[in-house]
Amino acid sequence: MPGLSFMLSEDHKWVTISFPTEPPIHLQIDAEEVVMMIERLGYFRAQMPDGRPSEWPNTTLRGAGVDPRWATGRDTVGGDTVLQLCDARFGWLAYLLPPKEAKALGEALVANGGQAEPNDGPPRPN
């Protein structure tokens, strides 16, 4: 929607969403409502035709978080690896990785991170 705007209050407690209608509509929401809106919009976005590239464009790190908290585990139903990442914008995001993809991701992280450290137990959250 052209003209849709967002503004964070000076005390950082509210977001005002302004709709370019006649008369204008202003919606003021707190952090909990922002989370709810992001979750619901994300659910709807996942069902929409995909306009995103299927491969990472590898051109920019726009909005990249630095050193996010993370955790791993095992899905008790399917046996897949659970990878959880804490994004400052979206909270905790969880992904199920089949064994082959979990192994590939682990190898890629080690290859990109330099020397592997000795394995002294199960994966731990950072």
H-state helical runs in 6-98? 31-47
Q: At 94, is the secondary structure helix, strand, or coil?
A: strand
Domain assignment present for 63: no
Q: Please check the confidence at residue 115 and state whether its pLDDT lies above 80.
A: no
Q: Per DSSP, what are the bridge partners of residue 18?
A: 5, 26
pLDDT bin (cut points 50, 70, 90) of residue 119 is low
26 has pLDDT over 70: yes
pTM of this structure: 0.67
Residue 98 falls inside a structural domain: yes
User: Which domain range does residue 32 map to?
Assistant: 5-47
Total domains in the fold of the chain:
2
Same domain, 9 and 43: yes
In a domain, 52, yes or no: no
In this structure, the answer to whether residues 43 and 76 fall within a common structural domain is no
Contact 116, 108 (CB under 8 A): no
The answer on 42 and 77 residing in a single domain is no
In a domain, 123, yes or no: no
Q: Is 16 inside any structural domain?
A: yes
In a domain, 75, yes or no: yes
Span 31-85, pLDDT tens digits: 999 999 999 998 898 888 887 767 777 666 677 788 999 999 999 998 899 999 9
- Do the domain assignments include residue 14? yes
Q: Is there a domain that residue 119 lies in?
A: no
- What pLDDT is attached to residue 82? 97
**Tokens 């709807």 -> residue:** 44
Distance separating alpha carbons of residues 84 and 104, to the nearest angstrom: 17
